[in-house]
């Protein structure tokens, strides 16, 4: 196999090997045979994972496809695991083990980013949910029922709450919480903020969507000591406040109160700003709540225009979905592990992109490494460690 012309650049292939090692350590929580004649281990599973992430989707199917490809070329298949081996390796993983493996990798990635000065002291982050639709005939407690916008019907979803950095070049996923029907938004956010503290991450601004707006959430954020920002839904209270603002009876930043259904109250600061007009079609807006938007925060001087950075988490979710590792297992543990592995691959790609762009590497400075190309290069390095193609071509 012909090597890439970038293979001569010092240090870059080594970084790809480190990516593989990071993911290999993460999947080490899976159970592998320790018999003297055991042929397969964590690195073989990583190869199947990379095959699935680069387009084949299901890990077991990816293993079978590679095995069949080797048989078709009449080459030895002694080092190619079967799909059944992959399923058995993932079977005993629990959700706690999967989250623990991910957090161990996050610690390593953050340490490397700090070592080379590629991460800020304070990070602006976004918290949101990522849903994976499920079609189980007997849904379990780990599935959440929600609306399907495409078919306008109810469906069950496997839901993950994540916290991601919004700074360019530092878009790491800093935590993941497997959300179940027994959990609440406040429980998930509390766990994610705690994970950031454990990693030694100083949070700048925490941005969330309006679906998080509730008395319990505002109370939690007020007690957390972080600066936070989220849009207010157009409740009757908010609509009246926007009407008062337009009439000049309310300041741009003013005190507000949110009340729970049980009568509990929590104060916050409401900041009003004009909605952005994307086209002339928006000129029909006449009502105050159509012309203005209210944000809830604990910082009256916060720049609400920076809320647009929160959409970076939506872009990250699309990238995660494009490479999400899949399994046919209905067990919660293996499925959480698949999401954890996908996040590991994404974080490793962010790290290698930062390391490859160091000032000492003039050949790659400022030139991005495409995610899919990086995954393909790593897959080849796993299966052909001695004849790998080196890193992928530089993006134009």
Distance CA 266, CA 186 (A): 14
How far is Cα of residue 235 from the mean position of the Cα atoms in its chain?
A: 30
Q: How many residues does the chain have?
A: 396
Note the pLDDT of residue 13: 65
Instruction: Work out the average pLDDT over 218-224.
Output: 93
pLDDT at site 154: 75
> CA-CA distance, 345 to 178, in Å (whole number)?
18
The pLDDT, as a whole number, for residue 77 is 47
Of 231, 56, 282, the residue nearest 128 (C-alpha): 231
Please give the pLDDT value at position 283: 54
Give mean pLDDT, residues 98-114: 93
Q: How confident is the model at residue 152 (pLDDT cuts 50, 70, 90)?
A: low
Does residue 4 have a pLDDT over 50? no
pLDDT of the residue at 396: 41
Residue 171 pLDDT > 60, yes or no? yes
pLDDT digits (tens, 9 = 90+) for 25-60: 889 899 888 888 888 888 889 988 998 998 867 888
| Measured distance CA(67)–CA(52) in Å, rounded | 13
User: Tens of pLDDT along 309-339?
Assistant: 888 888 888 888 888 988 888 889 999 999 9
Q: Regarding predicted confidence, which is higher, 352 or 72?
A: 352
Which tokens is 82 given? 């079967």
Q: Which residues contact 389 (CB under 8 A, 6 or more apart)?
A: 1, 2, 3, 4, 7, 377, 380
- Evaluated on CA atoms 225, 230, 235, 240, the torsion sign reads positive
Contact of 348 with 341, CB cutoff 8 Å = no
Q: What's the whole-number mean pLDDT along residues 251-277? A: 90
pLDDT of residue 257: 93
Output 362 or 259, whichever has higher pLDDT. Answer: 259
Q: Are 252 and 272 in contact (CB under 8 A)?
A: yes
Tokens of 269: 């600061």
β-bridge mates for residue 140, sequence order: none
CB 102 within 8 A of CB 347: no
Across the range 270-274, mean pLDDT stands at 93
Task: Find out whether 226 and 257 touch, Cβ atoms under 8 Å.
Answer: no
Q: Check residue 137 and report its DSSP letter.
A: S
List b or e across 316-346, with b for residues whose CB sees 16 or more CB atoms inside 10 angstroms. bbeebeebbbbbebebbbbbbbbbbbbbbbb
Give the global pTM: 0.86
What pLDDT was estimated at residue 238? 93
Which helix H or strand E contains 259, and what residues bound it? strand 253-259
pLDDT for position 343: 94
pLDDT at 75: 55
């Amino acid at each position: 196999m012909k090597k890439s012309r970038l293979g001569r650049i010092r240090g870059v292939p080594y970084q790809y090997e480190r990516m593989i090692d990071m993911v290999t350590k993460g999947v080490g929580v899976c159970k592998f045979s320790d018999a003297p004649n055991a042929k397969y281990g964590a690195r073989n599973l990583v190869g199947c994972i990379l095959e699935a992430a680069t387009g084949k989707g299901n890990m077991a199917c990816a293993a079978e496809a590679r095995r069949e490809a080797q048989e078709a070329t009449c080459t030895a298949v002694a080092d190619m695991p079967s799909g059944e081996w992959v399923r058995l390796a993932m079977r005993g993983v629990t959700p706690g083990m999967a989250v623990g493996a991910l957090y161990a990798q996050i610690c390593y990635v953050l340490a490397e980013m700090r070592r080379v000065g590629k991460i800020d002291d304070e990070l602006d982050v976004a918290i949101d949910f990522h849903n994976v639709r499920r079609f189980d005939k007997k849904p379990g407690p780990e599935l959440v029922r929600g609306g399907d916008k495409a078919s306008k019907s109810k469906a069950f979803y496997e839901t993950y709450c994540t916290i991601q950095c919004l700074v360019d070049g530092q878009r790491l996923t800093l935590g993941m919480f497997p959300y179940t029907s027994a959990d609440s938004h406040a429980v998930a956010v509390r766990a994610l903020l705690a994970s950031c503290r454990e990693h030694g991450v100083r949070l700048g601004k925490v941005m969330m969507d309006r679906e998080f707006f509730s008395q319990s959430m505002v109370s939690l954020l007020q007690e957390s000591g972080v600066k936070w920002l989220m849009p207010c839904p157009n409740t009757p209270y908010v609509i009246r406040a926007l009407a008062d603002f337009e009439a000049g009876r309310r300041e741009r930043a003013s005190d507000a109160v949110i009340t729970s259904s049980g009568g509990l109250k929590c104060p916050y600061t409401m900041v009003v700003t004009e909605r952005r007009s994307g086209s002339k079609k928006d000129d029909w807006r006449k009502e105050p709540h159509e012309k203005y938007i209210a944000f809830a925060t604990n910082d009256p001087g916060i720049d609400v225009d920076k809320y647009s950075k929160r959409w970076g988490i939506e872009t990250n979710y699309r990238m995660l979905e494009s490479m999400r590792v899949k399994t046919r297992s209905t067990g919660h543990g293996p499925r959480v592990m698949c999401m954890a592995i996908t996040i590991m691959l994404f974080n490793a790609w962010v790290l290698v992109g930062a390391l490859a762009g160091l000032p000492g590497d003039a050949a790659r400075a400022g030139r991005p490494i495409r995610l899919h190309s990086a995954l393909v290069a790593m897959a080849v390095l796993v299966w052909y460690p001695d004849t790998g193609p080196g890193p992928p071509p530089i993006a134009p």
